[in-house]
Amino acid sequence: MQRDDKVYKCLNFVQDFIYPPVCVLCGQRGQRPYNLCRSCLSELPRNESCCRHCGIPLPTAGLECGPCSRRPPPYVRAVIPFRYAPPMDHLLQRLKFNHRLELAPLLGGLMAEAVQEVAGTLPELLLPVPLSPARIGERGYNQALELARIVSSRLATPLDWQHCQRVRHTVAQTSLKRDERQSNLRGAFAVRGELPSHVAIIDDVVTTGATVSEFAKTLRQAGVREVEVWACARAGRG
Ligand SMILES: [Zn+2]
Ligand SMILES: [Zn+2]
């Protein structure tokens, strides 16, 4: 064991003694590195059987969903470790709408673990899905960027939030029917400057996939060869 590791372990021990981590779901003692207990962690809705391309939950693992087999999405793969179901949906809503930014290390950390579990070369850059300036003004922060900061530091992969922008303030996707969602987003993103050939889009929740698909399409048009999508949770088809 390195000397630095010993010092780190010792500091953690002291910190646990003075400020023991508390599980954000049940209030019992949490388990480092997260403020979640072992039992609540094991009960999170894992997205184990899902489309190998877009990550949508499926009854059987390793297959491709109908839409992906008819027309592959503009990204190579999606790494989405959880389903958008209780209690993960509550955690993500608290992060997104209730300023509970202390949940980002937990949720971003779980995303980074999921990426480490799947084989493959890490991308050269992480790109959180940009929010419009109006939405940032309303909310005060971009939850995708907060998650991306954690994933970036856990995987030692750089992050960029300045070269991609949301240039059109779109109507909230949830208020639209499925076929209206893609047209609502057309031309919503813009890229400035040069990007590397392999990047990962970071988002909190993928619902229909319309937002990440439009962003991936914009990145491909800007010359990115390989786009991945990393999100915390995936909704099923509603
Ligand atoms: Zn718990
Ligand atoms: Zn699919």
Q: Cis ω on the peptide bond leading into residue 33 (within 30° of 0)?
A: yes
Contact 77, 226 (CB under 8 A): no
Residue 105, pLDDT score = 94
Residue 186, pLDDT score = 82
**Identity of the amino acid at 218:** T
Residue 14, pLDDT score = 66
State the CB neighbour count (10 A cutoff) for residue 143.
26
The 3-state secondary structure of 18-34 reads HCCCECCCCCCECCCCC
Q: What is the pLDDT tens value at each position of the chain, 238 positions in all?
A: 556 667 666 766 666 666 778 999 999 998 888 889 999 999 999 999 999 899 999 998 878 999 999 999 999 999 999 999 999 999 999 999 888 998 999 999 999 999 999 988 999 999 999 998 888 888 999 999 999 999 999 999 999 999 899 987 666 666 666 666 667 788 899 999 899 999 999 999 999 899 999 999 999 999 999 999 999 999 987 5
Residue 61, pLDDT score = 80
Q: How far is the CA of 186 from the centre of ligand 2 (A)?
A: 21
Query: Given this structure, which CATH class describes domain 75-234?
Result: alpha beta
Sign of the C-alpha dihedral, residues 171, 80, 136, 73?
negative
* Ligand sitting nearest the alpha carbon of 73: 2
Helical spans, DSSP H, in the chain = 3-18, 38-42, 66-70, 88-97, 104-117, 133-139, 143-155, 178-185, 210-221
DSSP 8-state class, residue 225: S
* Ligand sitting nearest the alpha carbon of 34: 1
Among 79, 89, 74, 5, CA closest to 221: 74
Q: How far is the CA of 42 from the centre of ligand 1 (A)?
A: 9
Q: How far is the CA of 38 from the centre of ligand 2 (A)?
A: 31
Instruction: Specify the 3-state DSSP secondary structure of 113.
Output: helix
* Ligand sitting nearest the alpha carbon of 51: 2
Residue 112, pLDDT score = 97
Q: How far is the CA of 88 from the centre of ligand 1 (A)?
A: 13
* Ligand sitting nearest the alpha carbon of 42: 1
Which two structure tokens, joined as six digits, stand for 155? 């995987």
Residues with CB under 5 A from ligand 2 (ion): 51, 53-54, 65, 68
Residue 178, pLDDT score = 64
Each residue's pLDDT tens digit, 115-126: 999 988 999 999
Neighbour-count burial of 110, counting CB atoms closer than 10 A to its CB (0-12 exposed, 13-18 middle, 19+ buried):
buried
Q: How far is the CA of 60 from the centre of ligand 2 (A)?
A: 12
pTM, full prediction: 0.89
Q: How far is the CA of 142 from the centre of ligand 2 (A)?
A: 26
Residue ranges covered by each domain of the chain: 1-43, 75-234
> Residue 165 to residues 127, 159, 160, 218, 228: CA-CA distances in angstroms?
10, 14, 11, 11, 18
Residue 6, pLDDT score = 72
Residue 187, pLDDT score = 84
Residue 173, pLDDT score = 60
